[in-house]
Amino acid sequence: MSGQDVQQDVQTEQAPAAERPAPPARSRGAALGWVMTIGLNVIAPIITYHQLRDHGFGEFQALLISSAWPVLDSAIHLAWRRKVDEFAVVTLVFLVITAAVSLIGAHSARALLIKDSGVTGLFGLLCLATLLGPRPLMFYFGRKFATDGTPASTAWWNGLWQYEGFRRSMTVMTAVWGVVYLVEAGVRIVLAYVVDTDTMVVVSPVMVYVVLGCLGVWTALYGKRSQAEGERRAAAAAAGTPPA
């Protein structure tokens, strides 16, 4: 999800032009924060996992050790910002779920493919489960990508929740990601039984990245469409005419 698209979306949805809260200027530490977030939550766990596997560690042990990086990121963020970093927490939960799934059942090639599908399915369930909570998951992801973590930018993002259009956008995005990942997991599990293993070993990771790419494109397009709709309503309100 593009932080810029989300920012544009939420600034224009369901709020008169004069009342739209402008995002605060990003601090100089924003770039450093981004580097640390991506490094500790994405790059470091992947490198650590593959290095440990290459040196004889089991899948479960490698995943658990790799999860130390998001824990470190959370500790740094807590010491720096005096609050928990939701992005790091979700990354940690995802790694722990993956490690737990790796212990279940047999360890044949087909079983491992099914377990991989189960992980993405669990992420889909996590997305949908957050719809029952105070904020959907994409609200926290959006806050991570659209702000620099400072109190001013965080307060700006939290304040946008008062707008109905913003709440709807976060809910729709979370629901779509959740449903798509559940469907993707189901399709990959079925394919694991009907397609030979050698073929599925190639198809499975390709499906993961294709689905992620499609979701990213859809999110960007949805954000632009929501922006256009918000601008249209604001213009209609300014002109004193009801929107079509």
> What pLDDT does residue 1 have?
45
Give the closest residue to 3 by CA, choosing from 125, 131, 173: 173
Give the distance, in angstroms, between the CA of residue 27 and the centroid of all CA atoms in the same chain: 23
> What pLDDT does residue 146 have?
74
Q: Is the dihedral of CA 185, 191, 197, 203 positive or negative?
A: negative
Give the closest residue to 234 by CA, choosing from 8, 20, 16: 16
Q: Which residues contact 80 (CB under 8 A, 6 or more apart)?
A: none
- Give the residue-averaged pLDDT of 77-86: 62
Given a cut of 60, whether residue 43 has pLDDT beyond it is yes
Portion of the chain with pLDDT greater than 70, in percent? 61
Mean pLDDT of the chain: 74
Confidence of residue 60 (pLDDT cuts 50, 70, 90): low
Portion of the chain with pLDDT greater than 90, in percent? 14
d(CA 49, CA 39): 14
More confident residue, 35 or 14: 35
Spatial contact of 17 and 232, defined as CB atoms under 8 Å apart: no
> What pLDDT does residue 22 have?
56
Annotated domain spans of the chain: 3-19+28-239
Confidence of residue 17 (pLDDT cuts 50, 70, 90): very low
Q: Which residues contact 231 (CB under 8 A, 6 or more apart)?
A: 12
- Give the residue-averaged pLDDT of 29-43: 66
> What pLDDT does residue 92 have?
65
List the single range of 3-7, 119-123, 163-167 with lowest mean pLDDT.
3-7
> What pLDDT does residue 18 have?
38
d(CA 153, CA 229): 25
Across 66-80, 153-167, 189-203, 217-231, the highest mean pLDDT is recorded for: 153-167
> What pLDDT does residue 31 have?
56
pLDDT digits (tens, 9 = 90+) for 173-229: 999 999 999 999 999 888 888 888 777 777 877 887 788 889 989 988 887 887 777
> What pLDDT does residue 136 have?
94
Confidence of residue 241 (pLDDT cuts 50, 70, 90): low
> What pLDDT does residue 10 have?
42
Q: What phi and psi values does residue 126 have, to the nearest 5 degrees? A: -60, -45
pLDDT digits (tens, 9 = 90+) for 24-34: 555 555 556 66
Strand, coil or helix: 56: coil
pLDDT digits (tens, 9 = 90+) for 106-122: 666 667 677 777 778 88
Strand, coil or helix: 8: helix
Q: How big, in percent rounded to 5, are the helix, strand and coil portions of the chain? A: 80, 0, 20
Q: Which residues contact 120 (CB under 8 A, 6 or more apart)?
A: 181, 184, 185, 188, 208
Given a cut of 70, whether residue 81 has pLDDT beyond it is no
Decide: residue 195, CB within 10 A, 0-12 exposed, 13-18 middle, 19+ buried.
middle
